[in-house]
Amino acid sequence: MKTTTLMAFCASLALSAMSPVSAATAVAPASLADNPLMHESTLPFHYPAFDNITSAHFAPAFAEGMRQDALEVARIANNPAKPTFSNTIVALEKSGQLLARVERIFFNLNGTVTNPEMEALALKLAPELAAHTDDIHLNVHLFARINSLYQQHDHLKLDAESRYLLERYYLNFVRDGAKLSESDKNKLKAMNAELAQLGAQFNQNVLKELNASAVIVDSREQLDGLSESEIATAANSAKQHGMEGKYELALTNTTIQPVETRLTSRAVREQVFTASMARGSRGGEFDNQAIVLQKTRLSAQRAQLLGYPNYAAYILEKGTAKTPAAVNTLLAQLAPPALANAHVEAADMQSMIDAQQGGFQLAPWDWAFYADKVRKARYSFDENQLRPYFELNSVLQNGVFFAAHKLYGISFKERTDLPVYHPTVRVFEVQDCDGKPLALFISDMYARSNKRGGAWMNSYVTQSGLLGGLPVVANHLNIPLPPDGQPTLLTPDQVRTAFHEFGHALHGMFAHVRYPMFAGTSVPRDFVEFPSQVNEMWAAWPEILQNYAHHYQTGAVMPPELQAKLTAAKKFNQGFETTAYLGAALLDQRWYQLSADQLPTNVPDFEAAALQQGGVSYALVPPRYRSTYFSHIFSGGYAASYYGYIWAEVLDADTVQWFTEHGGLERKNGDWFRQQLLSKGGSMDVMQAYRNFRGRDAQIAPLLERRGLTAK
């Protein structure tokens, strides 16, 4: 419904994309009747007809979608009949289906296969979609109907999900300004339009600078430590950009780059680290510093206009944390032990450097490289020993899918008859434990220059009893594509990410709700990471690991001694990992806990002060993201919510403990988790759903133990 318009936009603003055929076929369609977006796809599960959609189809489809949506809402708002739950709330849930469909396809593709036409359209749409949402949520007559129903909700005899839906509508409209004066509504509209525009520009800058910041090296010798496949990929990338004979190291969206673990050249490691840290803050057309300052200023002013002291207070009210104070307490509890562990880890690495007569002090670009060496010395293995056992297809089908089959009884069959938006994309039909169709799953694992960084899940079709239909969900990673004929071998972190993102996919596929607003992952931002983090546990579960961790050449199962070392090393380097994460989470909170009269004028100075104030200022451990490429909080829907990963990890660690205590990988456990949590979506208070599952509130002790943050 109406809330999905801006939510879908904000969740995907980094994106600007289309099918690879789009740029070549970007001509105006003859009419709306010929536009494939105007009607639900006739393919199974209403799967999008990617082979028929071009970039030219989107602008007219958006215009028509907004026009139809506005007419539908006007009919509801101006209905002369007395407001009822059916003619107002249910009617709103049924409205806007064309626009919702176009949004999902556009913004999902926008993140995976961008082109200039879609980039331009994304910037144009930003204020238009914000204005369209405002016209609905600030409609006086519509809110009067919703308010009338809300005031008498105790007497409407609604079932629990319907009552919760009515409450959500009322609160969403109030939070979006429905009670403001007309003059303040006009101020709010202007702010929303500018915020949307800034978010779209920020994300496009991040993607373009990520590509522009790739590090070029002159010789193969400088890439010592990388695998033959990685070196070939770097050579091919440079060749494609007109630099044959050189090597191009593409960057990922995090501060620390994966290649820093293996590059033996300290100079190249420094070059990679410096390029990564400088993104968005070195001047030029992709500099994001002005956007960061303006976006935080507008966010603070918007919150104040709506009656909140700052934007974090506004955002957190709708989450499970509720208040900035609660978030600050959790982060403050974790920062001292995390930083103390990081200092111990740094001392261990410096000792190794000194023992090898390195003659230098540990620097940030050395951390990943020497952490791997310390791990190898302590546990007698390194990542290069593991990667031959982590071949992508085996991880996916014999690991991720196998775990889901064992736990939930679902099964997977690849569909090669459905069109895809890129040749490396795969599609699987998912059958439920009773053999009935459950969902379609799209697997998009490889990095591309026109694909946003990171890893994420999205939905092309969502489940709801009201509208019918079954989910079509997608997982996206950014694994470098190896040269033809070479296997795709994953790092342990990429394996974990594959299981993590599939946890989101399960949340979407297992949705069993009546109303579209509550489908799948439509839960508070600080809860949405919980099911995905739980699913990570199966990556190292012995029965699962033995099923997928086979050597890609010999087929041999990973030796038990290597499995044991992998398990023993799980807490290794957690001081660094936790401190880097907390640095980003604290930056997020510091930016959005400012009032409108407290805003800084210099981004680097503010970052330094925020990290110092948060107790995680340590030059050797930079935050996971600096502000100028922190897409999560400046364009990706995680503003004032990045803490949610570790907030949800409290629930996750407590849940892993429950699974372990109840026998682990058993159907009865999976069925209970699915029934009490995954199927509920946002149809009830999520913390009550957790209590229904666990029998009590979550405890923090399992998280502290997992991350090695308990007292030694």
**pLDDT surpasses 80 at 2:** no
**pLDDT surpasses 90 at 453:** no
Cβ atoms < 10 Å from Cβ of 138: 22
Distance CA 572, CA 47 (A): 43
Comparing CA positions, the residue from 163, 127, 144, 138 lying closest to residue 70 is 138
**pLDDT surpasses 90 at 290:** yes
- The predicted model gives 28-35 an average pLDDT of 71
Comparing CA positions, the residue from 178, 186, 166, 168 lying closest to residue 139 is 178
**pLDDT surpasses 80 at 383:** no
* Structure token digits, residue 482: 């190896």
Read off the pLDDT of residues 91-109 as tens digits, 9 standing for 90 and up.
999 999 999 999 999 999 9
Query: Which range has the worst mean pLDDT, 13-22, 180-189, 463-472, 568-577?
Result: 13-22
- Map 128-159 to HEC letters: HHHHHHHHHHCCHHHHHHHHHHHHCHHHCCCC
Cα 624 to Cα 181, 204, 462, 587, 632, distances in angstroms: 41, 20, 32, 10, 11
Distance CA 524, CA 675 (A): 19
Q: Given this model, what pLDDT does residue 516 score? A: 97
Q: Given this model, what pLDDT does residue 124 score? A: 96
Q: Integer distance in angstroms from the first to the last C-alpha of the chain?
A: 51
Mean pLDDT value across the chain: 93
Given a contact cutoff of 8 angstroms between Cβ atoms, the answer to whether 627 and 594 are in contact is no
- The predicted model gives 154-173 an average pLDDT of 97
Query: Which range has the worst mean pLDDT, 14-28, 277-291, 523-537, 538-552?
Result: 14-28
Q: Which residue do the tokens 């494609």 mark?
A: 240
Query: Which range has the worst mean pLDDT, 23-27, 104-108, 250-254?
Result: 23-27
Q: Given this model, what pLDDT does residue 380 score? A: 83
Distance CA 104, CA 355 (A): 56
- The backbone torsions φ and ψ at residue 137, rounded to the nearest 5 degrees and listed phi first, read -75, -15
* Structure token digits, residue 2: 């109406």
Domains of the chain (ranges; CATH) run 2-204 (1.10.1370.40), 213-278 (no CATH), 307-381+571-622 (no CATH), 387-568 (1.10.1370.40)
* Cβ contacts of 467 within 8 Å, gap of 6 or more: 93, 94, 97, 516
With the C-alpha atoms ordered 290, 296, 301, 305, is the resulting torsion angle positive or negative? positive
**pLDDT surpasses 70 at 8:** no
Q: What kind and span of H or E run contains 445?
A: strand 437-446
Q: Given this model, what pLDDT does residue 244 score? A: 95
Query: Which range has the worst mean pLDDT, 26-35, 157-166, 511-520?
Result: 26-35
Q: Given this model, what pLDDT does residue 392 score? A: 98
- The predicted model gives 686-702 an average pLDDT of 95
Residue 567's pLDDT band (boundaries 50, 70, 90)? confident
Given a contact cutoff of 8 angstroms between Cβ atoms, the answer to whether 674 and 510 are in contact is yes
Comparing CA positions, the residue from 184, 199, 218, 56 lying closest to residue 130 is 199
Helix%, strand%, coil% for the chain, nearest 5? 60, 5, 35
Q: What kind and span of H or E run contains 412?
A: strand 411-414
Active-site residue (options: 501, 536, 607, 649):
501
Share of the chain above pLDDT 70, in %: 96
CA trace torsion 414, 502, 437, 686 (10° rounding): -170
- The predicted model gives 447-453 an average pLDDT of 92
Q: Given this model, what pLDDT does residue 15 score? A: 32
Q: Given this model, what pLDDT does residue 711 score? A: 54
Read off the pLDDT of residues 647-683 as tens digits, 9 standing for 90 and up.
999 999 999 999 999 999 999 999 999 999 999 999 9
Show the CA angle centred on residue 258, arms to residues 255 and 262, nearest 5°.
130
* Structure token digits, residue 410: 């679902």
Distance CA 703, CA 708 (A): 9
CA trace torsion 353, 354, 356, 360 (10° rounding): 60
**pLDDT surpasses 80 at 617:** yes
Distance CA 315, CA 312 (A): 5
Distance CA 362, CA 370 (A): 9
Q: Which residue do the tokens 């169709």 mark?
A: 437
**Is 270 annotated in the active site?**
no
DSSP state of 271: H
Whole-prediction pTM value? 0.91
Q: Which residue do the tokens 């992508």 mark?
A: 392
Sheet strand arrangement including 426-431: 411-414, 426-431, 437-446, 472-479, 456-461
Q: What kind and span of H or E run contains 296?
A: helix 289-305
Read off the pLDDT of residues 111-137 as tens digits, 9 standing for 90 and up.
999 899 999 999 999 999 999 999 999
Comparing CA positions, the residue from 296, 194, 191 lying closest to residue 589 is 296
- The predicted model gives 41-65 an average pLDDT of 97
Q: Given this model, what pLDDT does residue 18 score? A: 32
Q: Given this model, what pLDDT does residue 650 score? A: 94
- The backbone torsions φ and ψ at residue 168, rounded to the nearest 5 degrees and listed phi first, read -65, -45
Q: Which residue do the tokens 């993590």 mark?
A: 500
* Structure token digits, residue 432: 């439920």
Distance CA 214, CA 276 (A): 9
**Pairing label, strands 437-446, 472-479:** parallel
C-alpha radius of gyration, the chain, whole number: 25
Q: Given this model, what pLDDT does residue 709 score? A: 82
Cα 197 to its chain centre, rounded Å, is: 20
**pLDDT surpasses 60 at 24:** no
Comparing CA positions, the residue from 385, 584, 341, 649 lying closest to residue 492 is 385
Helix (H, G, I), strand (E, B) or coil at 539: helix
Q: Given this model, what pLDDT does residue 708 score? A: 82
Q: Given this model, what pLDDT does residue 23 score? A: 32
Cα 603 to Cα 135, 175, 626, distances in angstroms: 34, 29, 10
